[in-house]
Amino acid sequence: MTERAISIFLVEPKQENFGSVLAVLDKAGLPATLIPIQDQFGFMRELQAGLPDVVLVCYQEKSFGDFDCLGLHKKLAPQIPAIVIAPGFGEEWAVEMMRGGVSDIVLQQKLYKLPAAITRAMAESFHRRQQQQKEQSLQLSQQHLLDLFKMTPVGVFRCDSEKNCFYVNDRFCELIGLSPEEAFGPGWIKALHPEDREFILREWYEKKGVVEETKAIYRYQKPVSGETIWVLGQSKSELDSEGNVTGYLGSVTNITRLKIVEEALKEKNNYLTKVNKELDNFVYSASHNLRAPLTSLMGLINLLRLETGKPLELHQICSMMENSLLRLDGFIRDIIDHSRNSRLFIQSVEVDVKALIAEVLEEFSLADNYNRICIDVNVQQEVPMFTDPARLRIIIRNLISNAIRYQNNTLLPQISITAQITGQESIFQVCDNGIGIRQQHHERVFDMFYRADEHRSGSGLGLYITREVIDKMGGKIELTSQPAKGTTVKIVLPNQQAGKAADSYNTETRTGWLPD
């Protein structure tokens, strides 16, 4: 049942069938509004008032020639279905009516078929209008797409299922140096760079009629000028409603500038890598070459001390020389530590924590006032510790060095070194009762060359290198300190598993340098 009454023009000079038509439609449950039309003027008048859903024409041979409503219908409202009611007709006449735009013919003596004819004609008319709208929409979309292709800054091409080119936009022709006619079919191939042609043709033509998305970087060389450009070529399959490949749509983007920048960056990177390696070698070599004469001078100073009968002043001068050399030696050691931490892979092997701490303390045994320092070492170890021994040594050495250097001369120096080793992590703490660090310096003590106390010796690299090493090892560092009360530094390092440690160690022994 329709939602509204169907509007029907009933064209009949004497309206003899008005009642019959209305009764048939009513019996069929097809609500309709019949608008009687007796001549062509009435037809045009009603048509101007509003279009009907259907036009019914009662054909009467003698009177129909006086006004050809069918002709008016075809001219003014061809989209409205027209049905002819006739007392009888021959085949030729029926064909002529259908060619003239009539949707259906119903015999007058079989008027009961009229409701079905009207319903069918309206459905066909609706379907036809929808199809026309789709075609118009498709044509509009295609036109918009072509307009977009003309405006886009990239080259656009289309190919059939055999990958023969049948469309290119102006930008595509500009990029490859060919006219559209020259680029059609396989013509675009002649613009491929000779060194890239084999690769592109193999990749492009090996898969025909296959659903795919492709992307490649290659070169075109314009046939006339010889100009070479780098492009990013992309394509995607076009499919019909059943999923079959009907063609390919693709784009070509000029990336020549990007390639030039990329090559320049690659050259700069290679240059910087070379310079960095040379600088690292220089630091390493220079550090060792500087330490050699320093070691000799320290030996000579010890010999001078053994000489008897020398004035006290000579001994003091030797001590001053020794202190200066020790500071220089410490600075060079810091440079070496920083260089090694920056360039070497993490080495992970089993470490004897107690022995390592003892070795580091032994390095400071000749320091001034070392014997008066109360040092407590407490190592609690549940499982073996796997870590980088060289880096752990740097951490412990720098923390102990600071604890010794920044003693509080008014108190008996105390240094507490604790270590707690578990299967997951290792926690180290170095505590002292030294001069401490003021709160405003806490955030900056880990900066390079920053010194919280300018009156004490030191390079300003110790805590900076310590933090860099800990970050490299995937650990954390925390510092708490109060002036005149002392400083506590807490280190948390991951305890590597034995299997991972072996792999890391093998990597370390294969190459001593970080990958570029």
Assigned token pair, 168: 């290119």
Assigned token pair, 66: 């006086």
Measure the CA–CA gap between 292 and 280, rounded to whole angstroms: 19
Measure the CA–CA gap between 340 and 317, rounded to whole angstroms: 35
Measure the CA–CA gap between 363 and 224, rounded to whole angstroms: 76
Assigned token pair, 400: 């102990």
Helix (H) or strand (E) holding 213: strand 213-221
Cβ atoms of residues 412 and 374 within 8 Å: yes
Among the listed residues 367, 355, 338, the one whose alpha carbon sits nearest the alpha carbon of residue 461: 338
Cβ atoms of residues 426 and 419 within 8 Å: yes
DSSP sequence for 468-479: HHHHHTT-EEEE
List phi, psi (to 5°) of 282. Answer: -65, -45
Query: pLDDT per residue over 362-410, tens digit each?
Result: 888 877 778 888 999 999 988 999 988 888 988 998 888 888 888 888 8
CA distances from 393 to 38, 355, 405, 431 (A): 114, 11, 18, 17
Residue 330 has pLDDT above 50, yes or no: yes
Residue 426 has pLDDT above 80, yes or no: yes
Average pLDDT rounded to a whole number, residues 239-253: 89
Residue 315 has pLDDT above 70, yes or no: no
* Higher pLDDT pick, 199 / 441: 199
HSE of 220, CA atoms in CB hemisphere, 13 A: 28
The mean-pLDDT minimum among 135-144, 389-398, 421-430 falls in 135-144
Percentage above 70 pLDDT, the chain? 76
Average pLDDT rounded to a whole number, residues 216-236: 93
Average pLDDT rounded to a whole number, residues 430-452: 76
3-class secondary-structure state, position 67: coil
Domains of the chain, first to last: 6-131 (3.40.50.2300), 152-254 (3.30.450.20), 276-342 (1.10.287.130), 344-510 (3.30.565.10)
Secondary structure (H, E, C), 288-305: HHHHHHHHHHHHHHHHHH
3-class secondary-structure state, position 391: helix
Cβ atoms of residues 485 and 438 within 8 Å: no
Measure the CA–CA gap between 464 and 461, rounded to whole angstroms: 5
Strand partners for 488: 431, 480
Residue 288 has pLDDT above 90, yes or no: no
Tokens 């006619």 belong to 181
310-348: b (≥16 Cβ within 10 Å) or e: eeeeeeeebeeebeebeeeebbbbbbbbbbbbeebbbbb
Strand partners for 513: none
Position 337 confidence tier, pLDDT thresholds 50, 70, 90 = low
Residue 25 has pLDDT above 60, yes or no: yes
Strand partners for 377: 417
Position 502 confidence tier, pLDDT thresholds 50, 70, 90 = very low
Residue 67 has pLDDT above 60, yes or no: no
Burial class of residue 183 in the structure, from the number of CB atoms within 10 Å of its CB (0-12 exposed, 13-18 middle, 19+ buried): buried
Assigned token pair, 79: 């989209």
